[in-house]
Amino acid sequence: MAWIPLDVNGPQVQGLIQNLVSHHVAVTSTLPVFECGVPGRPKLQRRTLEAMSAESAQSYLTARAGVALDSPMTSLMRKEMDFEVAFVKAGGLLLGGPDPTGNGGVLPGFGDQREIELLVEAGLTPLQAIQTLTSNGAMYLGRQDQIGTLAAGKQADLVLIKGDPSKTIDDIENVETVFKVGVGYDSKKLIESVRGQVGIR
């Protein structure tokens, strides 16, 4: 909790950011994990809860209901958002992805989409947020020539979205087709195939 009183624009935090950037240290954002412990934030969407086993969903909802109204996570989440935006502005390489910690409410796929939405809420542009979870990850892995962006000769791992998330970030949830190595899969069928399974296997 020593993080809460620090000013992101103050010398300590700015010094940390400059040290990370100068040593080429990437930072991974897991904002959905923070959100699960913040009172007043939206609960998981129905589509996410339906993917969970009944026991896992109930465990999440019970933990969520027990979040104290004066939880320090409210300040911590805002601080983390401000830190990540400052890190990006300083030239840092920000990554993102779900992390199965906390109260069990962050699921792969759904968690990635929520991460992008929260990065926009934090202050990144929609394109910056999308790049954080696509091209930045490829760059960090040293695989930017094979994955991470659309270009001739690259591995065809991509999603077809109804809408334009570069303008309306909520459109990131409207996935119609998922392509893996060039083979397309119906997104609704994929989600239906795991209905009630997350937390069991």
Give the side-chain half-sphere CA count within 13 A for 4. Answer: 7
Q: How confident is the model at residue 125 (pLDDT cuts 50, 70, 90)?
A: very high
Measured CA to CA, the distance from residue 171 to residue 52 in angstroms comes to: 23
Assess if residue 81 is contained within a domain: yes
Assess if residue 129 is contained within a domain: yes
Assess if residue 153 is contained within a domain: no
What does the pLDDT average to over 176-194?
Answer: 92
Q: Check residue 38 and give left, alpha or beta (phi > 0: left; psi -120 to 50: alpha).
A: beta
Measured CA to CA, the distance from residue 165 to residue 90 in angstroms comes to: 25
Q: How confident is the model at residue 102 (pLDDT cuts 50, 70, 90)?
A: low
Q: What pLDDT sits at residue 201?
A: 63
Of the two residues 97 and 17, the one the predictor is more confident about is 17
Q: How confident is the model at residue 1 (pLDDT cuts 50, 70, 90)?
A: low
Q: Spell out the SS3 assignment of 22-55.
A: HCCCCEEECHHHHHHCCCCCCCCCHHHHHHECHH
Assess if residue 115 is contained within a domain: yes
What does the pLDDT average to over 142-159?
Answer: 91
Assess if residue 100 is contained within a domain: yes
Q: What pLDDT sits at residue 84?
A: 98
Q: Which domain holds residue 40?
A: 11-146
Answer yes or no: is pLDDT of 139 > 90: yes
Answer yes or no: is pLDDT of 99 > 80: no
Assess if residue 142 is contained within a domain: yes
Q: What pLDDT sits at residue 82?
A: 97
Assess if residue 91 is contained within a domain: yes
Number of domains in the chain: 1
pTM: 0.93
What does the pLDDT average to over 144-169?
Answer: 92
Assess if residue 94 is contained within a domain: yes
